[in-house]
Structure 1
Amino acid sequence: MDNNHRYDYFRTQVQPALASKLSEFRLLGYDSVTEQELWEFLIKKKWKKVKDELMLHEIIQAILSVKVSDYLSFAAIETYKTAEFSLDDENELKELLK
């Protein structure tokens, strides 16, 4: 399976827009978001359906329109998907329900 997304070709061209969006995140107090994490969000959420004729300005618009709340929701869901915990342990279940 090919792990490259069709829009990866544009990544170096849109790097200034990614940096600008990350600066906005930092101004709002979200310092831990990386460029790679933001790019993954865009690929998995914004650009899930790949258009054949996507223009560079549309990619930049998508980057600059990312809301912090949308990214945080996505990151939380991704964390839950990869979390390794079990509710088989009664003590863990009691801790969770406190």
Structure 2
Amino acid sequence: MESEEWSYEQLSDEIEAMCRSKAEEFRLLGYEYVTGKDIWDCVSRNYYKEGRPALHKLVNDIYSLKANSYMNYLTIAAYRGLNV
């Protein structure tokens, strides 16, 4: 089986689409003001310490994000005075 190479632009577009999809899911749950960028900021917060994750981990982190984890992230960011 031949592995397919993805360009940075293709991956960026796909990751952005996944984050938008997750934001739409949260909006269906009643979190009206969530954007794809908000999802990315929440998911990627640990990548600064760990470095770039494997693609499968990144996809899993986005699609397995729970609303409760997202709200905890927002609460902690608010306490720290971060503009989220």
TM-score normalised to structure 1 length: 0.62
What's the CA shift string for 1:5-50, capped at 9, x where partnerless? xxxx5432212211221111011000111221211111114x3422
Partner of 2:3: none
Partner of 1:75: 74
Identity of aligned residues (%): 31
Residue 28 of structure 2 corresponds to residue 27 of structure 1: yes
Distance in 2 (alpha carbons) for counterparts of 1:14 and 1:80? 28
Query: Greater helix percent: which structure?
Result: 2
In structure 2, the gaps of 5 or more residues are: 1-7
In structure 1, the gaps of 5 or more residues are: 1-8, 84-98
TM-score normalised to structure 2 length: 0.71
Say which one has the larger Rg.
1
- State the Cα RMSD in Å: 2.0
Amino acid at match of 1:13: E
SS in 1 for 2:18: helix
Segments ≥4 residues shifted beyond 4 Å? none
What's the CA shift string for 1:61-97, capped at 9, x where partnerless? 11000000001001011011117xxxxxxxxxxxxxx
